[in-house]
Every structure is written in structure tokens, then in C-alpha cells.
Amino acid sequence: MVLFGCQPKPTTTTGTTWALVPFEKADSVNPILLPGENIFDCPVLGKPVAWEIKDVFNPAAVVRENKVYLLFRAEDTVGRFAGTSRIGLATSDDGLHFSKMKEPILYPDNDSLKRYEWEGGVEDPRVVESEEGHYIMTYTAFDGTTARLLLATSPDLIHWSKQGAVLQGSHKDTWSKSGAIVARREGSKIVATKVNGKFWMYFGDTDLFAATSTDLLHWTPELENGKLKSVLKPRKGYFDSFLVESGPYALLTDAGIVLLYNGMNHNTQGDTTLAKGAYCGGQVLFAKNNPMQVVDRLETNFIRPDKPYEITGQVNQVCFLEGMVYFHDRWFLYYGTADSKIGVAVKP
């Protein structure tokens, strides 16, 4: 493995002992997941499709029964919007070598959510566990015009029940995606955890916003003057100058709430050491008792595209963080590479 990135410089004087660094890319095995030729009978089209033949990327990750379950976005070549996306599942005994299930585990169907999910599809899952041992997935549905943040639940990571949209009422048609729920680590489990009596979620792919819930199913966005309240913004001149977007779940620690996030570089007002439009990974610390208060933020990215499969693909110059597990006494961080393949980095 090769160490990448510099020791991040803090934006405040509180130091960076809270941050999850450094990570090492697993160059000996990356990329760990590639497109394939598995066939699935699409219920909407009424015919077989090669559902993962174009690209696989942007995975969630969960440890269950001493295995890593990787829930990944896969695209076919049929849909009008760069292919229809579905969510597949792969498992691993070591966190590095994966075997795929032949069919997707979440996909557009002839159900009440088809109007949101077809024909762009379902994409970009993030998963945490509830206190009762059930799994809660946030995912994005794309109808070709608007992206919407949706929920699904499962007892086993294989069989999923769709629960509908996160934003309701006057915000139901608001562009929304990338829901990262605040959770704590219990051994290898990542368990959704209340702060001040509520569950919290960060979401968004411009600024970051926040929502709260009492049951993990019904969510209320935090508002300011009737609009979604921003809790994290892009920074001119930095790697995250164009947009910020949630990575995996937000991790509740003794220091506060640590969120790994994705930042996109602005074409003209960004970090001149990075390619225009590059996606890199950052980290921010929110206050332990106030999830909307930023305490600290890494000044530099801690992961950036520098491998051929990260630089060139469906979308060039992308390391997109979305899945992270604590497994065999190490952190495994899974990320999409150029919206085409999947890589992993490990924190020893």
C-alpha cells in the first residue's frame, strides 16, 4: 500500500486529533469492484437487462456476521439518463476481495415510488443499523429531472422495504440527496444514535443541510426563513470550493461528530493544485451536543484522485467517499473511482 495525502492542517487551533487520518489506498487490490455481466429481469421494462454492465461505484458498507457487505450503485446502458441505476450487493471475508450477488437488492419497480425512481434509477446508498438491529438505508431516486432523498429498511441487508421520501410537504420536490445519519460505533456495528433526544441526518450536494427524526423514518428538515438551513458551505480557494456532499454516516465520538464528506473543486475559484472539477475527501467536526455547530474542519483534502482509474472514467477526477466500516481492528473506507469502479483505503 502507498500512503497518500499530507498531514492535514487544522482550520482552528483545536488540532486534528479528532480526524480519521491517515488512510492508505490498497493499491495491491484496487479497484476492488468492476462492472460485470450479470442479468436481471427488470419489472418495469419487462425484459432482462445487464444491470451492472456499464459502471459500478458509490458504495455503502456494513459489517454483519463477520463479513463486509458492500451495497453499490450499478448502471446499465438502457436508461436515457446515462443508464438506469440499481443497488447491488457484494460480500467479503477480508474487506478487500468481494463476491457479487447476481441480482440487485434495490431497484425501480412498478410501485408507488416509480414516479421518483424511473428511469434514472436508485443510487448512492448509505446504511446504518438501528438499536433493534434493523438496517436503515438512505438512497437517491432520480426521475430524470429531480433527485430526491429516499429511505428503505431491511432486517438482513438483502430484503428491503421502501419507506418513501425524506422531505415531505412543501419540500417534497426539492432537490435532495446523500443522507448521512449520525451514528456511534459499537464494535463493528454502526448504530444510529440520538443527540439531544433526536436522530440527526446531514444531506445535500451544494451546501450541507440537516434533518431530525424520532423514529429514523419520519424526518423534519432544519429551516431558516422557510428554507433549508445550511450547516456547511463550500470554501473559495479550497478543494471543496464548488460544493460539499455527505460521505458515509456521521460518526459520534468523544471529540464530537466527525463527518467525512466529498468536496468538488471549482473550475476558476478552487484549489489550483487540483484538476478542475476534481472530487476529493474532507472531514469536518460538529459539536457533540449541537450537530449544526462546526467546531473544526480539515484545511486540506485527505484523499484525492491520483490513480489512473480515479482520474479517467465516466466522470474524470473523482474519489467519492460513501462507505466505511470498522473491521478486523481497522477502518476500511470505500469510494467510487471516476464514477466507474470502486476502491478502498485502509486506516491502520
Taking residues 222-231, what's their average pLDDT? 97
Split into its structural domains, the chain has a count of 1
SS (H, E, C) 261-284: EEEECCCCCCCCCCCCCCEEEEEE
Residue 1, classified by CB atoms within 10 Å of its CB into exposed (0-12), middle (13-18) or buried (19+), is middle
Confidence of residue 215 (pLDDT cuts 50, 70, 90): very high
pLDDT at 15: 55
Confidence of residue 347 (pLDDT cuts 50, 70, 90): very high
Q: Could you give the C-alpha distances from 273 to 111, 262, 269, 270, in angstroms and in order?
A: 47, 17, 12, 9
Is residue 172 within 8 A of residue 164, CB to CB? The reply is no
Taking residues 248-254, what's their average pLDDT? 98
Candidates 339, 344, 308, 319; CA nearest to 73 is: 339
Query: pLDDT by residue (tens digit) across 123-139?
Result: 999 999 999 999 999 99
Higher pLDDT, 4 or 92: 92
The percent of the chain in helix, strand and coil, each rounded to the nearest 5, is: 5, 50, 50
Asked whether residue 336 is assigned to any structural domain, the reply reads yes
Q: 75-80: list long-range contacts, CB under 8 Å, 24+ apart.
A: 75/121, 76/49, 76/50, 76/51, 76/52, 77/50, 77/53, 78/45, 78/49, 79/119, 79/120, 79/121, 80/119, 80/144
Taking residues 236-254, what's their average pLDDT? 98
User: 22: cis peptide before it, omega within 30°?
Assistant: yes
Query: pLDDT by residue (tens digit) across 185-201?
Result: 999 999 999 999 999 99
Asked whether residue 40 is assigned to any structural domain, the reply reads yes
Residues 157 and 138: their CA atoms lie apart, in Å, by 13
Asked whether residue 114 is assigned to any structural domain, the reply reads yes
pLDDT at 348: 85
pLDDT at 42: 98
- Domain of residue 227 covers 25-347
pLDDT over 70, % of the chain = 96
Asked whether residue 235 is assigned to any structural domain, the reply reads yes
Confidence of residue 16 (pLDDT cuts 50, 70, 90): confident
Q: Please say if the pLDDT value at position 5 is more than 80.
A: no
Name every residue whose Cβ is closer than 8 Å to that of residue 118 and which is 6 or more positions away in sequence.
44, 84, 108, 143
Asked whether residue 44 is assigned to any structural domain, the reply reads yes
User: Pairing state of beta strands 67-75 and 47-50?
Assistant: unpaired
Angle 182-155-341 (CA atoms, 0-180°, nearest 5)? 65
Give the domain CATH number at 95: 2.115.10.20
What distance separates the 2 farthest-apart alpha carbons in the chain? Answer: 59
Q: Please say if the pLDDT value at position 84 is more than 50.
A: yes
Asked whether residue 297 is assigned to any structural domain, the reply reads yes
Say how many C-beta atoms besides its own lie within 10 A of residue 101's C-beta: 13
Taking residues 163-178, what's their average pLDDT? 97
Q: Please say if the pLDDT value at position 327 is more than 60.
A: yes
Asked whether residue 1 is assigned to any structural domain, the reply reads no
Residues 241 and 262: their CA atoms lie apart, in Å, by 11
pLDDT at 26: 98
State the Rg of the chain over Cα: 19
pLDDT over 90, % of the chain = 95
Q: Which three cell numbers stand for residue 249?
A: 454516516
pLDDT at 306: 98
Asked whether residue 101 is assigned to any structural domain, the reply reads yes
SS (H, E, C) 16-66: CCCCCCCCEECCCCCCCECCCCCEEEECCCCEEEECCCCEEEEEEEEEECC
Average pLDDT, the chain: 95
Q: Please say if the pLDDT value at position 14 is more than 70.
A: no
Q: Please say if the pLDDT value at position 251 is more than 60.
A: yes
Is residue 107 within 8 A of residue 98, CB to CB? The reply is no
3-class DSSP state of 2:
strand
Query: pLDDT by residue (tens digit) across 114-126?
Result: 999 999 999 999 9
